Amino acid sequence: MSIENKLRALAGIGAGWVMWLLVGLSVIVIAVAIERAIVLLYATDDIKELRRNLASALGRGDLVAARGLVVASRSLEAQVLAAGLGALPRGAAAVEERLASEAQLTKLTMERRLALLGTIGSNAPFIGLLGTVIGIIRAFHALDASGGQVSTALMAEIGEALTATAVGLFVALPAVALFNFFQRQIAGRVSRAEALGREMLSFVKDERRTLAVEESS
């Protein structure tokens, strides 16, 4: 069977399977969006209060209280800070490296499955366009078989073919919007975690500098 015959056989099936594929992709978009929203909402806490209490504890040199604060918080930012405090016995440089690595690992965790949204958002319009092309080919074959007579059924078939492109766009637009939204949310949270980490590191360096001065005197 030649490629042309295979394409004709595919066109004979119609664009219905493309529509079902797009429906399936829309379900995936909704599922990923809900799952990521739940993860982000769960990893949320009052960061201003955490920052204030953490600064107070570190200012007093109370590392036990500082660890208790970050462990008790379920926020993404607290998770990064907890990793930094865990490296405190190895020095300020180790704390800085641990904060940076934990921030990147946390970002990767939060971005899990977002690639699906980006991929669907990028390719759904082309899938819809494929359905339109298949439908138009089928309509032209039907037109040829009817001797050039344009019927209501033929026009309906062309309309169905064009609907596939519309459905592809309908799936793609929310997928792209959600992908960008979650990316911005995660980037903002990671930036806050890094900023809090630098603030915590300044307290650690100041404390060690103070201890060094006291020991030298």
Looking at residue 148, what DSSP letter applies? S
Look up the domain containing 71 and give its range. Answer: 14-124+171-211
Nearest CA among 154, 137, 149, 125 for reference residue 25: 125
The number of domains in the chain is 1
**Confidence at residue 37, expressed as pLDDT on a 0 to 100 scale:** 92
This model's pTM is above 0.85: no
**Confidence at residue 149, expressed as pLDDT on a 0 to 100 scale:** 60
In-domain check, residue 200 = yes
**Confidence at residue 79, expressed as pLDDT on a 0 to 100 scale:** 87
Give residues with Cβ within 8 angstroms of 167, minimum separation 6. 19, 22, 23, 128, 131
How do the pLDDT tens digits run along the chain, 217 residues long?
566 566 566 555 666 788 889 999 999 999 999 999 998 888 887 888 888 888 888 777 777 888 888 888 888 888 888 888 887 778 778 888 888 888 898 888 898 889 999 999 999 999 998 888 887 777 776 666 666 565 666 666 677 778 888 999 999 999 999 999 999 999 998 888 888 888 888 777 665 544 443 444 4
Determine the Cα–Cα distance for residues 169 and 69; give it in Å rounded to an integer: 46
In-domain check, residue 165 = no
Cβ–Cβ under 8 Å, residues 164 and 208:
no
| Joined tokens for residue 154 | 């033929």
Instruction: Give the burial string for 187-196 (b: 16+ CB within 10 Å, else e).
Output: eebbebbbeb
| Joined tokens for residue 209 | 């500098």
In-domain check, residue 191 = yes
Give me the torsion for CA of 177, 178, 181, 185, rounded to 10°.
-170
**Confidence at residue 75, expressed as pLDDT on a 0 to 100 scale:** 84
Nearest CA among 30, 32, 22, 23 for reference residue 125: 22
**Confidence at residue 148, expressed as pLDDT on a 0 to 100 scale:** 57
In-domain check, residue 147 = no
In-domain check, residue 7 = no
In-domain check, residue 43 = yes
In-domain check, residue 9 = no
Q: Which residue in the block uniquely carries the two structure tokens 């030649």?
A: 2
Nearest CA among 84, 81, 106, 110 for reference residue 97: 84
**Confidence at residue 212, expressed as pLDDT on a 0 to 100 scale:** 40
In-domain check, residue 134 = no
| Joined tokens for residue 138 | 């089928």
